[in-house]
Amino acid sequence: MGASGAKQDEVTGRDPGAAPLDWARSREMNGIEALMWRAEADPRMRSTICSLAVLDQMPDWDRFVAACDWGSRMAPRFRQKVVEPAFGIGVPCWVNDPDFDLHYHVRRIRLTEGGGWREVFEAAEQIAMTPFDRARSPWEAVLIEGLPEGRAGLLVKLHHSTTDGLGGFQLFAKLHSRTREHDPDKPQPEAPTPEWISPTDLLVEQLSRDARSAPAGLARGLEGVVHAVTRPGQTIRDVTRFVESLRRIAANPDVEGSPLLYKRSLSWHFMALDVVFADLRAAAKAVGATINDVYLASLLGAFRMYHAKLGYSIKEMPVAIPISVRREGDEEGGNKFAGARFAGPVGIADPGKRVAAIGEIIRSLRAEPALDGLTLLAPALARLPAPLLGSLASGLTASNDLQASNVPGFRETLYIAGARIERLYGFGPLPGCATMVTLLTHGEMCCIGVNVDLAAVTDPDLFGECLAAGFAEVLALHEGAAPPVLLV
């Protein structure tokens, strides 16, 4: 990233014309984001997402803090807090925090001597499970010292209302450096101007705006009525098709949850898995499938093995995945995804046939006209009282035994404050579901982060072994694959 070319300030050395990134600039939360923010009236519905980067060395602390300060000016969302309109009426908004204090958001910890992956994950779990201070910007960056061979970890904790996985990729692709050396010419935007906005001010602002926009909304509605009257047959067919699709999307999968995984708690447990990207891609190519198909097939194979080892046999289980609904020209950042739920074919023992079955299911889901139908309902739902909203949101996710996400990652070498990022794992939340698994591609590896509810997965060590075996089973579709590496 280079400077804009404008004359620099002689005192600060900053380019006064440097602008922040055009990322997550919307002032108001969209419907999905408001749902995630308000649903946390139920603690089990917390929407905390984390990334854990493994660094080849410990960054210089002062340089790291400076990098965090720079990043928060390049992406002003990280200097903003959420303000709710008075009485919970209206939409939560992002405002520039007049009390922003970087010192609160950035810190470091050290593992005990000789600590390994389990100690890293335990530290990350404790940070992830701690709720955000909702009076501050909802993010934290924690450097973890003391990893073996002089390595370090960087845990970044965000509220999901800030961004989805693809939005995070868009951001960090622009913030992370491509060299170990400091770039003195990168743009230096000023910190955003503080805003003092009360909940009452926000409510009045939104009500006034809604009143002004009512005539335009009415005009659009009349235009739609005219269209329906002039083309009644087409309109009825389109509406019927959409409603039937929305019913399929919104309904719970016609499948019982696992008898092993029905309990829920507030306890998160992290583990991770490394799989060579080229091997997973080759396995997919061998059976004419996508990487996402073989990824999901590996997970379902792991669940089949886990149940079998504990004396249970199941044919299907409820699964949920996010499907991106971003379109060309959409604002970067924020959340643009639809949740799709289906009955996962756990009982298909043959990995190739399981991959094929999953591919057919996912293609069918992507073709649904109402895939993004919840977006139409979310703005109205987001205005419900928080306790009721938490109950409704829980109904959408609590029955899921598995939520799985496949997020694009970085193939190039990246650095943060002079330290090279060797691995990058994502850990999603457990909004009432039993397990959450996230695949991030980084360099030549698929970095797979796993979060399980310990009330549901009562033998996490066995489950980790089954995860490795599930991926090995699918990787064997292409001869010569390296075995997956389990990090626990």
Other C-beta atoms within 10 Å of 360: how many?
12
Lowest mean pLDDT among 3-17, 55-69, 366-380: 3-17
Lowest mean pLDDT among 2-11, 295-304, 352-361: 2-11
**Looking at residues 367-395, what average pLDDT do you find?**
65
Q: Are the C-beta atoms of 78 and 71 separated by less than 8 Å?
A: yes
Report how far residue 377's alpha carbon sits from residue 359's, in angstroms, rounded to the nearest whole number: 28
CA angle 467, 469, 471 (to 5 degrees): 70
Per-residue pLDDT at 3 exceeds 50: no
- Tokens at 188, concatenated: 């230096």
Q: Tell me: the pLDDT tens digits for 42-97? A: 888 899 999 999 999 999 999 999 999 999 999 999 999 999 999 877 889 999 99
SS3 12: coil
Report how far residue 349's alpha carbon sits from residue 64's, in angstroms, rounded to the nearest whole number: 48
Q: Tell me: the pLDDT tens digits for 229-276? A: 455 555 455 555 555 555 555 556 778 899 999 999 999 999 999 999
**Looking at residues 287-304, what average pLDDT do you find?**
98
| Distances in whole angstroms, Cα of residue 34 to Cα of each of 40, 135, 206, 247, 372 | 10, 16, 15, 23, 16
Q: What pLDDT is attached to residue 15?
A: 58
Q: What pLDDT is attached to residue 7?
A: 43
Q: Tell me: the pLDDT tens digits for 474-485? A: 999 999 999 999
Q: What pLDDT is attached to residue 55?
A: 97
Q: What pLDDT is attached to residue 4?
A: 36
CATH 3.30.559.30 region(s) of the chain? 253-404+444-487
Would you place residue 454 in the very low, low, confident or very high pLDDT band (cuts 50, 70, 90)? very high
| Distances in whole angstroms, Cα of residue 51 to Cα of each of 142, 374, 434 | 11, 27, 20
Q: What pLDDT is attached to residue 461?
A: 97
239: burial class by Cβ within 10 Å (0-12, 13-18, 19+)?
Answer: exposed
DSSP letter, residue 177? B
CA atoms 283, 340, 26, 75: torsion sign: negative
Would you place residue 175 in the very low, low, confident or very high pLDDT band (cuts 50, 70, 90)? very high
Q: Are the C-beta atoms of 121 and 464 separated by less than 8 Å?
A: no
Chain centroid to CA 125: how far? 16
Per-residue pLDDT at 446 exceeds 90: yes
Lowest mean pLDDT among 16-20, 110-114, 309-313: 16-20
Report how far residue 41's alpha carbon sits from residue 46's, in angstroms, rounded to the nearest whole number: 9
Report how far residue 369's alpha carbon sits from residue 462's, in angstroms, rounded to the nearest whole number: 40
Residues forming the active site: 160
Cβ within 8 Å of residue 221, ≥6 positions away: none
CATH superfamily of this structure's domain 31-200: Chloramphenicol acetyltransferase-like domain (3.30.559.10)
Share of the chain above pLDDT 70, in %: 82
Q: HSE of 13 in the Cβ direction (CA atoms, 13 Å)?
A: 3
Per-residue pLDDT at 9 exceeds 50: no
Other C-beta atoms within 10 Å of 113: how many?
6
CA angle 420, 425, 427 (to 5 degrees): 145
Lowest mean pLDDT among 2-6, 259-263, 404-408: 2-6
pTM of the model: 0.88
Mean pLDDT of the chain: 87
**Looking at residues 18-27, what average pLDDT do you find?**
92
**Given the structure tokens 């913030």, which residue do they identify?**
175
**Domain range 253-404+444-487, CATH architecture:** 2-Layer Sandwich (3.30)
**Looking at residues 446-456, what average pLDDT do you find?**
98
Per-residue pLDDT at 219 exceeds 60: no
Chain centroid to CA 232: how far? 41
CATH 3.30.559.10 region(s) of the chain? 31-200
260: burial class by Cβ within 10 Å (0-12, 13-18, 19+)?
Answer: buried
Beta-bridge mates of residue 409: none
**Looking at residues 105-133, what average pLDDT do you find?**
94
Lowest mean pLDDT among 17-26, 46-55, 88-97, 393-402: 393-402
Check residues 236 and 419 and name the one with the higher pLDDT.
419
Would you place residue 366 in the very low, low, confident or very high pLDDT band (cuts 50, 70, 90)? confident
Per-residue pLDDT at 486 exceeds 80: yes
Per-residue pLDDT at 149 exceeds 50: yes
